[in-house]
Amino acid sequence: MRDELPHGEQPADARGAPRVPLSRRRCSAGLALAAAAAVAGPGRAQAGTFGRLPLPPERPHVGPMKPVSSARTTEQSLPSGQRLLTIEHDVIRGVTPAMLRWWFENLGRTMTWRGTVYPRYLLWHPRDHIHWELAARSPGGGSGEGARFRIVEAFGANPDFYVDSVELVEKLDDEGISLVRRELGHEVFRLEHRFGSVAAGATYRSRMVVGLASGWFAGAFNSLVRPRVFSDAMGTAWLTHNVEEVSMLEHLLPPLYAARAAG
């Protein structure tokens, strides 16, 4: 963002410090509010008013979920003040990168487990997941690159860690998926999953960055706003949540992919 006087000078206040132009102050305040809503999602931003979806009863577990100790995780604050979380998951046995791509392309469909039909998303994490929908189709008409996913979940089934967010599918192919949220042209959230192939199955690496990378308001947003809408404790809970849901793909994906031709 650039806001200069015609001759490149900024007026000074009574103390001699340059004044921040009113247009920039207004834009930054608007950006802070929009970015906060983007990171938190409408459910958390409106908690106690309206729009928050209830946590449904826990669903059956198609298979055991791995503990967070099965993966290598990191969490740190970057020099920018953004929060960075990474996971190197245990191998997803019996799964390939092509199968993982297919999973995300067909996430909105249902599956039958022991005679009962469930949304796939709700069985993917049988405790934390609340709702998924295709908020906007991709240019090709489906759930691929360019689509927007609405994701509603509560990490650890904890209402304090509730998320309701609509994110752009920036990338979706056999290499992985990237979900991004931007407000007023500024990226405030990025989640990347990268797939690989080994003899036993698929590798899966995750990287989440929350906060503003740059800009006049980045420092204040990352130190004051980001911790209120996506706290460090919430990030730690997400690490466990993501390890659990990725490990569930060993049990969900192989039979679904094998039966895909049946519709």
Tokens linked to 182: 């931007």
The C-alpha atoms of residue 108 and residue 113 are separated, in whole angstroms, by 16
User: At 144, is the secondary structure helix, strand, or coil?
Assistant: coil
The C-alpha atoms of residue 177 and residue 101 are separated, in whole angstroms, by 8
Average pLDDT over residues 216-224: 90
- For residue 1, what pLDDT band results from cuts at 50, 70 and 90? very low
Q: What is the CATH number of domain 22-52+66-262?
A: 3.30.530.20
Q: How many residues does the chain have?
A: 263
C-beta atoms surrounding 4 within 10 Å: 10
- H/E element, 33: helix 22-45
* Residue whose C-alpha is closest to residue 167's, from 141, 186, 190: 190
Q: What is the pLDDT of residue 40?
A: 46
- For residue 36, what pLDDT band results from cuts at 50, 70 and 90? very low
Q: What is the pLDDT of residues 122-157, one digit of tens each?
A: 999 999 999 999 999 999 999 999 999 999 999 999
Residue 255 in this model has a pLDDT that exceeds 60: yes
Alpha-helix residue ranges (DSSP H) falling in 88-231: 97-105, 120-124, 218-220, 226-229
Q: What is the pLDDT of residues 221-249, one digit of tens each?
A: 999 989 998 999 999 999 999 999 999 99
- DSSP string over 36-98: HHHHHHHHHHTTTTS-PPPPPPPPP-SSPPPPGGGSEEEEEE-TTS-EEEEEEPPPEET--HH
Q: What is the pLDDT of residues 84-121, one digit of tens each?
A: 999 999 999 999 999 999 999 999 999 999 999 999 99
